[in-house]
Structure 1
Amino acid sequence: MTTVQENRGPGERVAELARIKGALREGPDPAATERQHAKGKLTAHERIELLLDEGSFNEIEALRRHRATGFGLEQRRPYSDGVITGWGTVHGRTVFVYAHDFRIFGGALGEAHAEKIHKVMDLAESAGAPLVSLNDGAGARIQEGVTALAGYGGIFRRNTRCSGVIPQISVMLGPCAGGAAYSPALTDFVFMVRGTSQMFITGPDVVQAVTGEQVTQDGLGGADVHAATSGVAAFVHDDEEQCLEEVRYLLSLLPSNNREVPPAEPCEDPVNRSTEALAELVPADPGRSYDMRAVVAEIVDGGDYFEVSERWATNVLCVLARLDGRVVGIVANQPGSLAGVLDIEASEKAARFVQFCDAFNIPLVTLVDVPGFLPGVGQEHDGIIRRGAKLLYAYCNATVPRVSLILRKAYGGAYIVMDSRSIGADLSLAWPSNEIAVMGAEGAANVIFRREIAAADDPEATRSQKIKEYKSELMSPYYAAERGLVDDVIDPAETRSMLIRSLEMLRTKHVDLPSRKHGNPPV
Structure 2
Amino acid sequence: MTGTAEKLAELRKLLEIAEEPSGEKGIQKRLAKGIPSARERVHMLLDPGTFVEMGALMRQPGKPDAYYGDGVVTGRGYIDGRPVVVISHDPSVYGGSVSETFGRRVRAAMDFAYNNACPVVCINDSGGARIQDGVASLAWYANMCRPLDDLSGFVPTVAVMFGKCAAGSVYGPINMDVLVATEDSYMFVTGPEVIKAVTGSSVTAEELGGARALEKNGTVHHVAKDEAGAFAWVREYLSYLPTSCVEPAPVVNPGLEPEITATDRELDTFMPDADKVGYDMHEILLRIFDDGHFHEVGAKTSENLITGFARVDGRPVGVLANQPLVLGGALDAACSDKAAHFIRLCDAYNVPLIYVVDTPGVLPGVDEERNHVIKRGGRMFRALIEATVPIVTIVTRKAYGGGFAVMGCKQLGADVALAWPTARLAVMGAESMIPIVGKRTLEATPEEQREAVRQNMIAFYNATVATPWTAAERGYIDAVIEPSTTRLEIRKALKLLRDKGAVRKQNPRKHNLFPM
TM-score in terms of structure 2 length: 0.96
Residue number among 332, 340, 362 corresponding to 2:329 in the alignment: 340
Offset of residue 273 of structure 1? 3.1
State the SS of the aligned residue for 1:295. Answer: helix
Question: CA offsets, 1:209-263, max 9 Å, x none?
Answer: 23333222222212111112x2111111111112112211212111000111210
Partner amino acid for 2:223? V
Asked if the contact 1:231–1:309 (Cα under 8 Å) also holds between the matched residues in 2, the reply is yes
1:226 maps to 2:214: yes
Structure 1 counterpart of 2:240: 253
Structure 2 counterpart of 1:4: none
Equivalences for 1:288-327 in 2 at 5 Å? 288-327=277-316
Structure 2 counterpart of 1:13: 7
Question: CA offsets, 1:386-426, max 9 Å, x none?
Answer: 01111111111100000000000000011101010110100
Asked if the contact 1:446–1:463 (Cα under 8 Å) also holds between the matched residues in 2, the reply is no
Asked if the contact 1:334–1:340 (Cα under 8 Å) also holds between the matched residues in 2, the reply is yes
Offset of residue 75 of structure 1? 6.0
1:202 maps to 2:195: no
Structure 2 counterpart of 1:501: 492
Structure 2 counterpart of 1:418: 407
Whole-angstrom CA distance in 2 between matches of 1:479 and 1:419: 18
Structure 1 counterpart of 2:204: 216
Whole-angstrom CA distance in 1 between matches of 2:374 and 2:14: 59
Offset of residue 322 of structure 1? 0.9
Offset of residue 381 of structure 1? 1.0
Structure 1 counterpart of 2:46: 52
Partner amino acid for 2:499? T
Partner amino acid for 1:246? W
Equivalences for 1:324-403 in 2 at 5 Å? 324-403=313-392
Structure 2 counterpart of 1:181: 170
Whole-angstrom CA distance in 2 between matches of 1:319 and 1:283: 25
1:235 maps to 2:222: yes
Residue number among 494, 506, 510 corresponding to 1:517 in the alignment: 510
Residue number among 16, 25, 30 corresponding to 1:31 in the alignment: 25
1:485 maps to 2:476: yes
Question: CA offsets, 1:3-47, max 9 Å, x none?
Answer: xxxx53222111111111112112311221222132121111100
State the SS of the aligned residue for 2:354. Answer: strand
Question: CA offsets, 1:87-137, max 9 Å, x none?
Answer: 011111110011111111000000111111111101101111100001111
Partner amino acid for 1:219? E
State the SS of the aligned residue for 1:335. Answer: coil
Asked if the contact 1:135–1:170 (Cα under 8 Å) also holds between the matched residues in 2, the reply is yes
State the SS of the aligned residue for 1:520. Answer: coil
Whole-angstrom CA distance in 1 between matches of 2:42 and 2:139: 27
Whole-angstrom CA distance in 1 between matches of 2:206 and 2:64: 35
Partner amino acid for 1:506? L
Question: CA offsets, 1:426-466, max 9 Å, x none?
Answer: 01000000000000012212211211211122332332222
Offset of residue 192 of structure 1? 0.4
Give runs of ≥4 in structure 1 deviating > 4 Å.
none
Partner amino acid for 1:39? K
Offset of residue 310 of structure 1? 0.6
Whole-angstrom CA distance in 1 between matches of 2:271 and 2:53: 52
Structure 2 counterpart of 1:3: none
Partner amino acid for 1:117? V
Structure 2 counterpart of 1:71: none
1:244 maps to 2:231: yes
Partner amino acid for 1:463? R
Asked if the contact 1:329–1:357 (Cα under 8 Å) also holds between the matched residues in 2, the reply is yes
State the SS of the aligned residue for 1:80. Answer: coil
How high is the sequence identity, in percent, across the aligned residues? Answer: 39
Offset of residue 76 of structure 1? 4.0
* Bigger mean CA deviation after superposition, 57-66 or 368-377: 57-66
Whole-angstrom CA distance in 1 between matches of 2:510 and 2:265: 47
Check 1:280–1:209 CA distance in 2 against 1; reply closer, same or farther (3 A cut): farther
Offset of residue 304 of structure 1? 1.1
Residue number among 45, 51, 62 corresponding to 2:56 in the alignment: 62
Asked if the contact 2:21–2:68 (Cα under 8 Å) also holds between the matched residues in 1, the reply is no
State the SS of the aligned residue for 1:55. Answer: coil
Whole-angstrom CA distance in 1 between matches of 2:219 and 2:32: 27
Partner amino acid for 1:253? Y
Residue number among 84, 95, 98 corresponding to 2:73 in the alignment: 84
Whole-angstrom CA distance in 2 between matches of 1:76 and 1:365: 57
Partner amino acid for 2:367? G
Q: What are structure 2's unaligned runs of at least 5 residues?
A: none
* Bigger mean CA deviation after superposition, 133-142 or 278-287: 278-287
Offset of residue 467 of structure 1? 2.1
Asked if the contact 1:271–1:500 (Cα under 8 Å) also holds between the matched residues in 2, the reply is no
Offset of residue 268 of structure 1? 6.6
TM-score in terms of structure 1 length: 0.95
Question: CA offsets, 1:338-361, max 9 Å, x none?
Answer: 111100111110110010000001
State the SS of the aligned residue for 2:203. Answer: coil
Partner amino acid for 2:493? S
Question: CA offsets, 1:46-87, max 9 Å, x none?
Answer: 00111111111111111111237xxxxx46411111111110
Whole-angstrom CA distance in 2 between matches of 1:347 and 1:249: 25
Asked if the contact 2:74–2:105 (Cα under 8 Å) also holds between the matched residues in 1, the reply is yes
State the SS of the aligned residue for 1:393. Answer: helix
Equivalences for 1:132-151 in 2 at 5 Å? 132-151=121-140
Whole-angstrom CA distance in 2 between matches of 1:123 and 1:399: 29
Whole-angstrom CA distance in 2 between matches of 1:269 and 1:100: 42
Equivalences for 1:281-292 in 2 at 5 Å? 281-292=270-281
Whole-angstrom CA distance in 2 between matches of 1:471 and 1:238: 46
Asked if the contact 1:271–1:496 (Cα under 8 Å) also holds between the matched residues in 2, the reply is no
Asked if the contact 1:445–1:470 (Cα under 8 Å) also holds between the matched residues in 2, the reply is no
* Bigger mean CA deviation after superposition, 404-413 or 57-66: 57-66
Whole-angstrom CA distance in 1 between matches of 2:136 and 2:129: 9
